[in-house]
Amino acid sequence: MARRSTPAKKKKPATRGKTTARKKPGKKPGGFRRLMLGAAMVAGAVSAIIAAGSMLELDRAAHKAVSDLSASSPAPRAPAPRNTSKPPKMDFSKGYDAPNRPGYMVERTPEDIDKSEPDSLPEPRISPVPNVNPAPLPEAQAPANMQLAWQKFATRVPDTGTAPVIAIIIDDAGIDKPRTERAAELPGPITISYLPYATHLPEQVASARKRGHEIMLHMPMEPTSRTVDPGPHALLTSYDKVAILNEMTWMLDRFSGYVGVNNHMGSKFTSDPERMAVVMQVMKSRGLMFLDSRTSAKSVGYQEAEKYSVPAIERDVFIDDADDATKIANMLDRVEHVATKRGYAVAIGHPRDLTLEALNKWIPKMQAAGFIFVPATDIVHRNGIKVTG
């Protein structure tokens, strides 16, 4: 039996005014605004590129200007190499009887020098200074009624008449305090010369002056031998005028109450007229005297002092160049001979046991024989240098 077909349902017509069409993918609302924003970003990037290009051009121009200036300017002086070596550590614990201690020997003979040693001296122990030539030091113009240092701090002694006189100078003082104190206990007056790198100098100097002794400063200077260390702040021949003035100022300001300076070692430095002239300018400006220890026969210390009218004397005898009792006795005999023949003698010794023991016995003996012991300044009036300051 055939089925009756069911008629298809009619679709309802879409409501007018409404659309059911699907939107195309990728198309979003606000496209115009995004387009304007993108354009602004592109414009900003272009501006940044232009600005960077301008700065690059300015940088190139500046670099070129600096290069041109450098090319037209003289080459700068290469800086001096900085000295990084440490000052030598000196051991004074063994005192003045220990061989090879700093300052033990006055001068070494050529036979004592090792031929394998380098010819050049070690670098200076202070930082290099500019190589300049400052104006000469002004000459001291002291008022007529003002005493100079060598006069102000001099130890006064009565008129000796025609009696022969002896000036004993004990230098290398201050480092070994017990032996320095023993030197200050010697009958006198004598002259005690202190190393500037000793400690408690004002107290040591005051103690010696209370006992009636005269005071000097024992200034370290470069020796000829490369195996002996004169100590820190020594004056070296490699120094220019500025370096010499700097080191002398440090040493001379360590204490006061001294009448002058004598050289510690210095066989090489005192043979250099140019540098000794600088030393004498300082002596003159400070009103000091100079005692040439004569550690070298080539020393020009006395001659340079004469040029600058600096009161000066020279050493006649080293009492203890050899630390030996017999040789010390022989040197004391020589002192007596010089004083008898010339009327005065200048002798240098050191605070060592044998020297102090010998002087303790010898000084009273010589006094009993009619010799008079005087400070170094007393000899200044006998040496013939015309003192103008």
pLDDT at 115 (0 to 100): 43
User: In the prediction, which pLDDT does 382 show?
Assistant: 78
The pair of structure tokens assigned to 13 is: 């017509």
CA–CA–CA angle 376, 249, 208 (5° rounding): 35
**CATH at 273:** 3.20.20.370
Residue 388 has a pLDDT of: 45
CA distance 371 to 335: 11
d(CA 216, CA 289): 9
Q: Has residue 77 been placed in a domain?
A: no
- Per-residue model confidence as pLDDT tens for the chain (389 residues): 455 555 555 555 555 555 555 555 555 555 666 666 666 676 666 566 555 555 555 556 555 654 554 455 455 455 445 444 444 444 444 443 444 333 333 343 343 334 444 443 333 333 334 344 444 455 545 555 678 999 999 999 988 899 999 999 999 999 999 999 999 999 989 999 999 999 999 999 999 999 999 999 999 999 999 999 999 999 999 999 999 999 999 999 999 999 999 999 999 999 999 999 999 999 999 999 999 999 999 999 999 999 999 999 999 999 999 999 999 999 999 999 999 999 999 999 999 999 999 999 999 999 999 999 999 999 998 765 555 44
The predicted pLDDT at position 55 comes to 57
For residue 146, the model assigns a pLDDT of 79
Predicted pLDDT at 103 = 37
- Domain total in the chain: 1
- Give pLDDT, residue 100: 37
Q: Are 216 and 171 in contact (CB under 8 A)?
A: yes
pLDDT of residue 101: 39
- Residue 273 is assigned to a structural domain of this protein: yes
Choose among 378, 330, 327, 319: nearest CA to 186.
319
Examine residue 93 and state whether it is found in any structural domain, yes or no.
no
Residue 82 placed within a domain: no
Q: In this structure, what token pair is assigned to residue 272?
A: 């250099």
3-state secondary structure string, 291-347? EECCCCCCCCHHHHHHHCCCCEEECCEECCCCCCHHHHHHHHHHHHHHHHHHCEEEE
Residue 360 lies in a domain: yes
Question: Is residue 293 a part of any domain in this protein?
Answer: yes
Q: Which residue is listed with tokens 């600058």?
A: 308
Strand 317-318 with 372-373, pairing: unpaired
Domain membership of residue 263 as a residue range = 166-380
Q: Which two tokens stand for residue 312?
A: 């000066």
pLDDT, position 106: 39
User: Is 369 within a domain?
Assistant: yes
Residue 197, in any domain of the structure: yes
Round to whole Å and give the CA distance between 231 and 91.
11
pLDDT confidence of residue 189: 96
